[in-house]
Structure 1
């Protein structure tokens, strides 16, 4: 039986020609430059510590995918990769969905299970904690508040969050265009509502006439969507001080890369919001960072958890923008790893750019599961394994791996038993987490929200309303001015409406996602 003939899957216990086959796969991972250690080869039911499976540091800006069913070890894989990147001076961003990754700041526990795994894969394990910053969207939860202004967030991402259709998304773009040219800063949701209210009034309707106008029906949908969005607590996410994504690129005094952990358990019921907010972070990095081409190591590696949420119900324009961003951000030294259950959760144009793959076990209990399994197998290069059988038989902490080698060619598919993380595999307690947040040098910069003058105030929409009648003295006046009337009747806005061409009227430059290019 030659090496080119069918070989039983790892873990099958069947006899094969493991020595030659294992050597062939292992040779594909024998890199000469710096590399991250993933684990050891599984072959013919045995773990081969003499055949390490690795990924070159230099190719981690070529992006990747970590996939697998719930409970198969994806979170530990993220932790393992983040630790080694930090050790090599590379900053890391992690989205922590369940709160399990906060333990990366503390040394792990030396127990029988960890020692057993280390012995199996030939790992010299020792406990270690890593420099970490803990962030939280809008300060909801335990972390330094991460906020963005509406202006910076932009119309394309906001339309995705509000679930607008293509026509409504285009109208939202016109609203942003108008606010940009008038110098009206959209800091939070009330600023955007004030501008929409004016543009649907008798006086404001003419402002957009020459570029398509804004229908009352579309404006009504946008306003209702904003109201529902705010009712879900989204107002906390928009405002100032806006988070500077350059703070994700820091290193610790000892040269290790900082691991920025975005704590998301408190907003798990807002999946569309946090997935879109992660895309804002990536888009902001994209248009702020300079081109550096391929280097010996990435400037940042960004792990995008629950990636399927980003692509659900996305418009074609949105998907195209994601594809371009992922393709082009590589040359700026940023690697993006999408984390999800199966490769089919990621559109083909994006999946084709993910050169490094760690695929944990899949389940095949239903016809849909079998279909997803077959689709996953088709995304891998030809291999010596029966991948359908292998992927349903992998244990926790095992995965099928293929990465880009130092020459850019894919490595052989390798069933791998993964190493154990060196930091704590689990969350730290709340008191310790809060202490780390308050002790961060970023805390003083971002903790306190600021509400400065912006579109809402400049349009006069904050003018106090006439108070309602006191009990026993009749109902409130029926002609009490609405938000629209307050905006329309504002002399401030009437003046601003004539200010096209002034210094305030300079339009903001926007990126692929419509996010605003800010001056650092």
Structure 2
């Protein structure tokens, strides 16, 4: 028998003889570099699809190939359940008490049974605790939960960072990222925005394009400010205020501001920044297995996050040198909704681009689904490997056959024999069809090194995260400079009242920002600026005098909102006022009275 411990060869299982329904002794070793032409795993619930995917990712991590795995169901967190000692106490925290009760056992007895089951199962496939230890030592497994603190949260503060120069210099790539980001953000607000006809899409896309083209990043706060006071006055050949009047822009700004202010959205702003390089490697260059659990998100939030993630991965890919070897893997456990055959959600465009371009840079994309009728098979024409398990309906089988015939590339395709093989597949038995192999093969998947405990609950994810290595502090967290202030002269807001977002004001209340007077982090405080040209003339005395007076007054919610008698006189050139705040500034609380123009 061939030794399966070969670098660059993924041990997936053993050959399976369909006529005799028996497993053979020869190993199925998948060439890692074949994965640069991508793969798709198709199989109904109970077919063993998750086990095959977990086994594939284990092999990659053992070979020190980093992985980003998107987990919509909660199963892939099991990659972190690695017990080299195979002791009952290792399994005990992860067994389901209900399963133990159904089996007529205590939880301790059931854990001991599971430990024996895993030990014997591994031995039947030539594996043991030492191989689990190799897997454990090769890479850390981290479970990320965007929008939740159950696992390690991912911050979207950098989600609208300017893409790298390689993307900015490619007009098509830049527009692709702008459109995808805009569509997903507006979908989060419940706005079904068409890139051509939607004025919301046109405005937000222009704001992103304008900033990114100059290499400037935008966060949600900056985007809200840009919607109120865009850095351009025309859209196409028409005035911006005609296409999108200030009052209507205010409504959109308020929607974004309400999203940002919602308590549930604050968890999206916590944690490590969304960064592909960080997801793939730790600060010491060690490869990582990053499992991104999105099971807790609703459909709009999933699409929003997936679009940002795919955009960032695509930008990372375009900064890498070309290679013929496998550099990293992107695994999506359930593709439903992200690459449908008819509609075009923002994720679809990005996935199709990755399938076409990522192979030259060593990124292997693996897509898994139990719903083959929901896949765009034209998009999968760029997929070199198909793993096909047991299918549920005749319609599913017909769609898979259509896809296989499409990727045969003009090679002889025995449709009848293929249909017969697929119809006879059992649990954990898969058909492997690869453009790199002379003929399809059937195989049974090996026993996984990870304990497959089933979908993880939030509490279980918390337990895994508590045992994982602590994240390296980011620059923003490592150094928190003391706040200085802009030269407001109107007093300082309490630091407890500060916010990271500029206040949203109606279009009839103009908003400007005083230039800072010293270096350091900025805290803007609300004041009212009054400017008057005062003239005095006396013909009898022959006196003519004209002076400009500028006063600055605080504003509050007391009986007298604005008291000019108590205002402070300042020396300031109106031309020095700035249209937008500086990046990274904080903002003092704005009294509600200041948001109404009639109070001035």
Relative to the length of structure 1, the TM-score reads 0.68
Structure showing greater relative contact order (alpha-carbon pairs closer than 8 Å, 6 or more residues apart):
1
Of 233, 238, 258, 2:288 maps to 258
Match of 2:360 among 331, 342, 346: 331
Equivalent residue number for residue 442 of structure 1:
471
Q: Residues 304 and 224 (structure 1 numbering): CA distance in 2 closer, same or farther, change over 3 Å? A: farther
Q: Say if 2:13 is the partner of 1:42.
A: no
Q: Is the 8 A contact 1:138 1:237 kept in 2?
A: yes
Q: Which residue of 1 aligns with 2:324?
A: 294
Task: Report how far residue 315 of structure 1 moved.
Answer: 4.3
- Contact 2:41-2:49 at 8 Å conserved across structures: yes
Between stretches 440-449 and 416-425, larger displacement belongs to 440-449
Equivalent residue pairs, number: 435
Match of 1:70 in 2: 45
State the match for 1:308 in structure 2: 336
Q: Deviations over 1:33-75 (max 9, x none)?
A: 7311222222213234233323102222221111222332222
| Candidates 77, 85, 88, aligned match of 1:102 | 77
1:186 aligns with 2:209: no
Residues in 2 aligned to 1:48 and 1:352: alpha-carbon distance in whole angstroms: 31
Shift of 1:85: 1.0
- Cα distance change, pair 389–492 in 1 and its aligned pair in 2 (3 A): farther
- Contact kept? 2:339, 2:351, Cα under 8 Å: no
* Aligned equivalent of 1:198: 229
Q: Structure 1 residues 181 and 92 mapped into 2: Cα distance closer, same or farther (>3 Å)?
A: closer
- The equivalences for 1:199-238 within 5 A come to 199=230, 206=233, 208=235, 213=240, 215-216=243-244, 219=249, 223=253, 226=256, 233-234=264-265, 236-237=267-268
Q: CA deviation at 1:92?
A: 1.3
Report the counterpart of residue 19 of structure 1 in structure 2: none
Q: Structure 2: which 5+ runs fail to align?
A: 87-113, 163-176, 494-502, 516-573, 584-600
| Conservation of the 8 A alpha-carbon contact between 1:97 and 1:265 | yes
Residue 177 in 1 paired to residue 209 in 2? yes
C-alpha contact 1:73 1:397 (8 A) present in aligned 2: yes
Cα–Cα, structure 1 residues 160 and 395, in superposed 2: closer, same or farther, change >3 Å? farther
Distance change (3 Å), C-alpha of 1:420 and 1:47: same
Q: How does 1:429-468 map to 2 (within 5 A)?
A: 433-434=461-462, 437-438=465-466, 439-442=468-471, 444-445=473-474
Alignment of 1:5-44 (within 5 A): 34-43=8-17, 44=19
How far the C-alpha of 1:364 sits from its partner, in A, is 0.9
Contact 2:391 2:397 in 1 (8 A): no
Q: Is 1:267 aligned to residue 289 of structure 2?
A: no
Matches of 1:194 and 1:85 in 2, distance apart?
A: 45
> Which of residues 388, 395, 398 in structure 1 aligns to 2:429?
398
Q: Structure 1 pair 91/411, CA: closer, same or farther in 2 (3 Å)?
A: farther
Secondary structure, aligned partner of 1:151: coil
- The alignment partner of 2:60 has SS state of helix
Q: d(CA) in 1 for partners of 2:219 and 2:24?
A: 55
How far off its partner does 1:225 sit? Answer: 6.7
* 8 Å Cα contact 1:149/1:239 also seen in 2: no
* Pairwise CA distance, 1:319: 4.7
- Aligned pairs for 1:352-431 within 5 A: 352-364=381-393, 368-369=395-396, 371-376=398-403, 378-379=405-406, 381=408, 382-383=413-414, 386-404=417-435, 409-426=436-453
Which of these residues, 134, 138, 145, is aligned with residue 143 of structure 2?
134
Cα separation, 1, equivalents of 2:24 and 2:34: 24
CA distance in 2, matches of 1:182, 1:452: 27
What TM-score do the two structures reach when normalised by structure 2? 0.60
Q: Report the CA distance between 1:486 and its aligned residue.
A: 7.6
Cα distance change of structure 1 residues 259 and 212 upon mapping to structure 2, 3 Å threshold: farther
- Which residue among 295, 304, 316 is the counterpart of 1:285? 316
Structure 1 runs not aligned, ≥5 long: 1-25, 465-480, 505-520
Secondary structure of the equivalent of 2:160? Answer: helix
